[in-house]
């Protein structure tokens, strides 16, 4: 929290620009609202630092309440700055979020995670902590933060933005689904043939070392040739650029974590449990479907989680070859030196990755707990 205070007082909290083209003027918190209010903003952070000096359950709960209050107060702070600094006679003026606010959000999020862990709160309670923060931000964005540069970028491209989210999710879903099917099939084949195991992991490790842009470039020529010589592929939209090379590259990068986790999950089932199932008269397929696969499912889901998070990030790079998605905003913003457009593409990707990680991690944890308490999973 001391670092948060230093960032709050020493870094720009907001910036104001008359339009999208002209660079904005940065304002420290003290320059925007005066030193008394800026110093008052440090008091809750210092309170959290003081409560952490000798942590017990009561002080941890008080710290959690203060951190939640700060994260809900930040959008109100931005709204106050919008009212004070934005000239109503200049409708194109926009308020930018400064590094102090971004850094403070990051540090508060870390503190929130740490406090949740120390208080041993359940996953459901953890999600419950996030709800009031999201509601406060949503209300402020809807009512008082229309001049925010990020909001103005969204308003100018709302239809394109929603279409980009759809493209991004479709590309990730197709890549994860295909890699799941191929990964399970490869893992099953590797368990039967030792030579295939060594060869398969060697090839997959090699694919993982190829940079994403290089792989897109390697796929461009053969896919363009296939599209030119096979009319049915051209009819499907396969070409050297677009969704086809992006999908193939994402599948190639997704196979290693999927195959590795599936292989380890199936191999890691207790042999005693398998022998007990066979002793009960189960067939080979029954042992696999009713015993081995359910016990391996939590670890297999970890592979799906890693693959999904990785694919969400890599799909942004696919915008460079015309695959669409949220990466379009990132690269357009970089080309135009418009950081708010970059954020318009980057923040949803970050949100998608966090949500996918949390949901799949919670599902894997629940299945793991269930397998440990079920009769088949008891050791």
For residue 377, the model assigns a pLDDT of 47
Domain termination residue (choose one: 128, 153, 178): 153
For residue 376, the model assigns a pLDDT of 47
Are 294 and 166 part of one and the same domain?
A: yes
Interaxial angle between packed helices 149-156 and 158-192, expressed in degrees from 0 to 180 and rounded to the nearest 10? 90
Q: Is residue 247 part of a domain?
A: yes
For residue 168, the model assigns a pLDDT of 94
Are 237 and 125 part of one and the same domain?
A: no
Domain termination residue (choose one: 108, 123, 153): 153
Q: In what order do the strands lie in the sheet with 12-17?
A: 25-28, 12-17, 94-97
Interaxial angle between packed helices 158-192 and 339-373, expressed in degrees from 0 to 180 and rounded to the nearest 10? 40
Q: Is residue 338 part of a domain?
A: yes
Could you tell me the CA-to-CA distances from 21 to 17, 92, 186, 211 in Å, in that order?
8, 10, 52, 34
Q: Is residue 48 part of a domain?
A: yes
Q: Is residue 379 part of a domain?
A: no
Could you tell me the CA-to-CA distances from 262 to 200, 289, 341 in Å, in that order?
13, 14, 39
For residue 375, the model assigns a pLDDT of 45
Are 92 and 183 part of one and the same domain?
A: no
For residue 322, the model assigns a pLDDT of 83
Number of folded domains in the chain?
2
Q: How far apart are CA 329 and CA 319, in angstroms?
A: 9
Are 183 and 119 part of one and the same domain?
A: no
Are 191 and 279 part of one and the same domain?
A: yes
Are 130 and 181 part of one and the same domain?
A: no
Domain containing 308 — which CATH number? 1.10.3720.10
Are 133 and 177 part of one and the same domain?
A: no
Are 293 and 214 part of one and the same domain?
A: yes
Q: Is residue 246 part of a domain?
A: yes
Q: Is residue 378 part of a domain?
A: no
Are 116 and 136 part of one and the same domain?
A: yes
Q: Which domain holds residue 48?
A: 2-153
For residue 191, the model assigns a pLDDT of 85
Are 94 and 237 part of one and the same domain?
A: no
How would you write the pLDDT of the chain (379 residues) with one tens digit per residue?
778 888 888 999 999 988 877 778 999 999 988 888 888 888 888 888 887 787 888 888 999 999 999 999 999 999 999 888 888 778 788 899 999 999 999 999 999 988 988 888 877 787 788 889 999 999 988 888 888 989 988 988 889 999 999 999 999 999 999 999 999 999 989 888 888 888 888 899 898 888 888 888 888 888 888 888 888 888 887 887 888 889 999 999 999 999 999 998 888 888 888 888 888 888 888 888 888 888 888 888 988 999 999 999 999 998 888 888 999 999 998 888 788 899 999 999 999 998 998 888 888 888 877 655 554 444 3
For residue 78, the model assigns a pLDDT of 92
For the purposes of burial, counting CB atoms within 10 Å of the CB of 373, is it exposed (0-12), middle (13-18) or buried (19 or more)? exposed
Q: How far apart are CA 318 and CA 331, in angstroms?
A: 11
Length of the chain measured in residues: 379
* Contacting residues for 182 by C-beta, under 8 A, at least 6 apart: 251, 255, 258
Domain termination residue (choose one: 99, 125, 153): 153
- β-partners of residue 27 are 14
Are 118 and 169 part of one and the same domain?
A: no
Q: Is residue 7 part of a domain?
A: yes
For residue 370, the model assigns a pLDDT of 65
* Contacting residues for 308 by C-beta, under 8 A, at least 6 apart: 172, 176, 356, 357, 360
Are 173 and 313 part of one and the same domain?
A: yes
Q: Is residue 92 part of a domain?
A: yes
3-class DSSP string for the chain? CHHHHHHHHHCEEEEEECCCCCCCEEEEHHHHHCHHHHHHHHHHHHHHHHHCCCCCHHHHHHHHHHHHHHHHHHHHHHHHHHHHHCCCCCCCCEEEECHHHHHHHHHHHHHHHHHHHHCCCCHHHHHHHHHHHHHHHHHHHHHCCCCEHHHHHHHHCHHHHHHHHHHHHHHHHHHHHHHHHHHHHHHHHHHHCHHHHHHHHHHHHHHHHCCHHHHHHHHHHHHHHHHHHCHHHHHCCCCCCCHHHHHHHHHHHHHHHHHHHHHHHHHCCCHHHHHHHHHCCCCHHHHHHHHHHHHHHHHHHHHHHHHHHHHHHHHHHHHHHCCCCCHHHHHHHHHCCCHHHHHHHHHHHHHHHHHHHHHHHHHHHHHHHHHHHCCCCCC
């Amino acid at each position: 929290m001391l670092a948060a205070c230093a960032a709050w007082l020493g870094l720009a909290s907001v910036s104001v620009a008359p339009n999208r083209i002209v660079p904005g003027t940065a304002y420290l918190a003290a320059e925007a609202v005066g030193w008394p209010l800026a110093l008052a903003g440090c008091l809750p952070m210092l309170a959290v630092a003081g409560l952490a000096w000798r942590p017990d359950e009561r002080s941890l709960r008080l710290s959690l309440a203060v951190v939640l209050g700060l994260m809900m107060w930040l959008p109100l702070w931005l709204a106050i700055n919008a009212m004070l600094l934005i000239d109503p006679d200049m409708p194109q003026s926009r308020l930018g979020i400064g590094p102090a606010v971004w850094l403070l959000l990051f540090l508060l999020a870390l503190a929130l995670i740490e406090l949740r862990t120390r208080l041993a709160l359940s996953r459901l309670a953890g999600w419950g902590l996030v709800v009031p923060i999201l509601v406060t931000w949503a209300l402020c964005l809807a009512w008082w933060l229309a001049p925010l540069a990020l909001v103005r970028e969204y308003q100018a491209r709302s239809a394109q933005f929603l279409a980009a989210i759809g493209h991004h999710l479709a590309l990730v879903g197709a890549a994860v689904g295909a890699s799941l099917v191929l990964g399970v099939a490869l893992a099953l084949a590797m368990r039967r043939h030792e030579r295939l195991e060594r060869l398969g992991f060697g090839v997959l490790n090699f694919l993982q070392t190829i940079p994403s842009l290089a792989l897109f470039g390697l796929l461009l020529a053969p896919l363009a040739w296939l599209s030119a010589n096979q009319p049915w592929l051209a009819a499907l939209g396969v070409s050297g650029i677009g969704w086809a090379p992006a999908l193939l590259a994402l599948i190639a990068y997704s196979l290693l974590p999927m195959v590795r986790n599936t292989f380890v999950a199936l191999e890691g089932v207790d042999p005693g449990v398998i022998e007990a199932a066979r002793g009960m008269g189960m067939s080979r397929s029954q042992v696999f479907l009713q015993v081995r696969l359910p016990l391996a499912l939590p670890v297999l889901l970890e592979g799906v989680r890693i693959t999904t998070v990785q694919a969400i990030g890599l799909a942004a790079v696919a915008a460079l070859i015309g695959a669409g998605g949220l990466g379009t905003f990132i690269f357009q913003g970089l080309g135009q030196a418009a950081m708010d457009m970059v954020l318009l593409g980057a923040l949803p990707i970050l949100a998608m990755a966090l949500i996918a990680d949390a949901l799949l991690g919670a599902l894997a944890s629940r299945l793991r707990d269930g397998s440990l308490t079920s009769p088949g999973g008891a050791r």
